A = this chain, B = another copy of it.
Amino acid sequence: MGQEFLKITDPEEVEKIISKLPIKKTVEKVPLEAAYKRVLAEDVYATINLPPFRRAAMDGYAVISKDTFDASEDDPVALKLKDVVLAGEIPENKVEEGTCIEVSTGAPIPEGADAVIMIEFTEKKGTDILMLESVPLGANIAREGSDVKKGGFLLREGELITPDKIGVLSAIGLLEVPVYVKPRVVVISTGNEVIKVGEKLEYGKVYDINSYTISNAVKSCGCIPIHSDIVNDDYNSLKNKINEFTDADVIITSGGTSAGAGDILKVVLDEMGEVLVHGIAVKPGKPTLIGVIQDEEGNKINKIIFGLPGYPVAALMIFYNFVAPFLRKFASLNESPEGKSREFKLSRRYVPSRGRRQYVLVKIEGDEVHPILKDSGAITALAEADGYFIAPKNVEILEEGTYVDVFPLKTY
């Protein structure tokens, strides 16, 4: 069976190794409609003045401000109404001494006017408009470029494109947005016992779980999952499958790391590249493998490979704690607040395993969490879990009522 002893690496060391893995940043242009939740690949500057023209900030009357300087409620000043300009219209008349032009919010300010008096401070009287107070020069007028001038800085490279930032891009009429290309991540389930969902479940077989969980978790990291067929636990099947995905950035396998495919993956990597990690001092997820594949000349890293354990809980915990931070960095997603943990009280005493950092699934109830005490092959553990906490390796006992930092599964 070729059982090998793993060279167990501490998780801190594994994180260091992962942080040094090379990432590739390439840029593409996407239509504004498709820019949501992408990451800006270039600084964005205003291509036009904003506002693009001198416009009314309020509904009212465009006036020459000094015409209103003596106006008061007791002694209003009458100005002749010459015209009406609504938003979207082009003024055809000028405001001259003793006259005014009605404007709606967003309408261009007619020539000659230097202020807008709000409609609330006026009164209609025949063809005249009575000014009930004075307005200072420039009042209620948004000057061309007063928000930002053409060429002015707007958004920084690396910015996550949320609805508010899409507003900025549309304000300057940007049809195509430069964003970072999403990394392509192949997800391969291995195992002779694993069959596709939808097939008839024969004796000795189980449905593929990991390629579904991991593919979707890959999406939550801003990457594109590429689904693979299930691969048998043998050298040639795995090697051929890995070679099939020439344009993938990352390959994630899962399954069989305890005896079959894990060792095969190691053999494949020894031949095609290099094994960097073979076993991590965590629970669950110890039999994890991390490696790189070189190109034909054997001197440059071409693909990064993560070999996850087969048990679904173990695969997901290794993914969230080691693979996801790497993929998020690859996708230029800065650590976002969604990923942050929240404190909860342990509802009962918990005794972690010795000598390994431990990921403990929990059910959240109110401000308490109940540890889920099931093995990492238990599907019901996934069904019940709302999150997980990390028990450090040197902690012997976590007493009831201890506060633990819980990472909610809902945020993935």
Q: Which residues of A contact B (CB under 8 A)?
A: 1, 3, 32-33, 36, 48, 50-53, 57-59, 86-90, 102, 104-108, 119, 142, 147-148, 152, 154-155, 160, 162-175, 191-194, 197-199, 201, 203-210, 212-214, 216-217, 219-220, 227, 233, 256, 258-260, 310, 312, 316, 336-338, 342, 374-375, 377-380, 382-383, 385, 408-412
Quick one: which of B106, B175, B258 contacts A310, CB cutoff 8 A?
Answer: B106
CA distance A199 to B48 in the complex (A): 14
CA distance A58 to B259 in the complex (A): 9
Closest to A50 in B: B379
Quick one: which of B33, B170, B233 contacts A86, CB cutoff 8 A?
Answer: B233
The smallest beta-carbon distance between A321 and chain B, in angstroms, is 14
Of the A-B pairs whose beta carbons lie under 8 Å apart in the complex, a sample of 29, sorted by A's number, is A1-B102, A33-B227, A50-B379, A51-B206, A51-B377, A87-B256, A88-B191, A88-B194, A88-B205, A90-B203, A104-B259, A104-B260, A105-B258, A106-B193, A106-B310, A148-B383, A162-B412, A163-B214, A164-B382, A165-B383, A166-B212, A167-B312, A167-B379, A167-B382, A170-B207, A173-B201, A336-B411, A337-B338, A338-B411
Given contacts A36-B216, A171-B209, A175-B197, 14 further A-B contacts (CB under 8 A): A48-B201, A53-B203, A88-B205, A89-B204, A105-B256, A105-B310, A108-B204, A162-B412, A163-B220, A164-B382, A167-B312, A168-B383, A169-B212, A173-B207
Q: Which residues of B contact A173 (CB under 8 A)?
A: 197-199, 201, 207
A201, B36: Cβ atoms under 8 Å? no
Q: Which residues of B contact A206 (CB under 8 A)?
A: 51-52, 106, 171
CA distance A259 to B61 in the complex (A): 13
A167, B260: Cβ atoms under 8 Å? no
CA distance A367 to B163 in the complex (A): 24
Quick one: which of B33, B163, B193 contacts A412, CB cutoff 8 A?
Answer: B163
B32, A212: Cβ atoms under 8 Å? yes
The smallest beta-carbon distance between A63 and chain B, in angstroms, is 16
Q: Which residues of B contact A148 (CB under 8 A)?
A: 379-380, 383
CA distance A213 to B287 in the complex (A): 46
Closest to A90 in B: B204
Closest to A196 in B: B173
CA distance A148 to B179 in the complex (A): 45
Known contacts A197-B32, A217-B163, A410 near B154 by CB under 8 Å: no
CA distance A338 to B412 in the complex (A): 10
Q: Which residues of B contact A163 (CB under 8 A)?
A: 212-214, 216-217, 220, 316, 409, 412
B219, A168: Cβ atoms under 8 Å? no
Q: Which residues of B contact A48 (CB under 8 A)?
A: 201
Q: Which residues of B contact A193 (CB under 8 A)?
A: 87-88, 106-107
Q: Which residues of B contact A378 (CB under 8 A)?
A: 147
A142, B209: Cβ atoms under 8 Å? no
CA distance A167 to B412 in the complex (A): 13
B411, A337: Cβ atoms under 8 Å? yes
CA distance A259 to B59 in the complex (A): 7
Known contacts A105-B310, A194-B88, A171 near B337 by CB under 8 Å: no
